[in-house]
Amino acid sequence: MLNLVIFGPPGCGKGTQSARIAKKYGLMHLSSGDLLRTEIEKGSKLGMQVNHYIERGLLVPDGIILRKVYKNAIGLINSAGIIFDGFPRTLIQAVMLDRFLKKKSIKLNMVIHMLVDRGELFRRLTGRAEDSGRVDDTEQIFRVRMRVYEKQTHCLKEYYSDQKKILQVSGMAPVEDVSAKIAHAIDHYREKNEVFSNVI
C-alpha cells in the first residue's frame, strides 16, 4: 500500500491535489471534510451535530471525527493505498491514526504539507466562495479557520518531521505543476524509500 496524509491551511488546494494523486496512483481518497458535508446534506443526526462546528470554522471534536474516519478507512485497507485529506488535523488525531495503522499492520509512507501564503489563500477562498456554496467560505470564517489551523494543525509539521515523513510542497504554482512536483516526490520515495527533506 501507499498511504499518504495531506494537510495545509484552508484553501491550499489539498482537496484538488488529493483527487489528482488518487487518480494517478489508484489510491482511495478519504476526505474528512467531504464525509462530514455528506452527513450534513443527508440531514443525519451526525450531520446536525457537526454542522454546528463547521459553520463556525471550528474543528469537529476528535472523538466524532476519529469514529467516522476509522469506519471509512477499514473498508479501504486492502486497496492500493489511501490518501487521507483533512485528517489528521490535531496532534491527538495524528497519534490515533498511527495507532490505528499499526494495529492493521500498515504504514503511513508520506505526509504532504502544502505551503501557500496567506494573501493567496484569501484570494482563492473568496474566488471559490461563489461556486462552492460552502457556509464556511466567508471572510470572517476564513479568519477563524486560519487561526484554528495555526493553533491546532500546524504542529503536525513537527510531529511528522520527527518521523522523517514530511514532504513540504509549495502550493503557489498552477495546479498541474504542483501535482507534477508531488508525483516526482512520490516516485522518488517508491524508488529510494526516502522523503525529500527540502521544500519542493
Q: Residues interacting with ligand ADP, by CB under 6 A?
A: 10, 14, 32-33, 36, 53-54, 57-60, 65, 86-87, 89, 93, 136, 145
Torsion angle of alpha carbons 109, 67, 169, 111, nearest 10°?
Answer: -20
Dihedral sign for Cα atoms in the order 126, 200, 162, 20: positive
What is the closest distance, in whole angstroms, from the C-beta atom of residue 163 to ligand ADP in the complex?
A: 19
What is the closest distance, in whole angstroms, from the C-beta atom of residue 13 to ligand ADP in the complex?
A: 9
User: CB-wise, 113 or 145, nearer to ligand ADP?
Assistant: 145
What is the closest distance, in whole angstroms, from the C-beta atom of residue 52 to ligand ADP in the complex?
A: 10
User: CB-wise, 153 or 168, nearer to ligand ADP?
Assistant: 153
Strands (E), 51-123: 82-85, 110-115
What is the closest distance, in whole angstroms, from the C-beta atom of residue 136 to ligand ADP in the complex?
A: 6
C-alpha–C-alpha distance, residues 22 and 6, integer Å: 12
What is the closest distance, in whole angstroms, from the C-beta atom of residue 178 to ligand ADP in the complex?
A: 15
User: CB-wise, 1 or 13, nearer to ligand ADP?
Assistant: 13
H or E element in which residue 7 lies = strand 4-7
The Cα angle at residue 16 between residues 183 and 21, in degrees rounded to 5 = 30
C-alpha–C-alpha distance, residues 109 and 4, integer Å: 6
Beta pairing, strands 28-31 & 82-85? parallel
User: CB-wise, 2 or 36, nearer to ligand ADP?
Assistant: 36
User: CB-wise, 53 or 122, nearer to ligand ADP?
Assistant: 53
In the complex, which residue's CB is closest to ligand ADP?
33
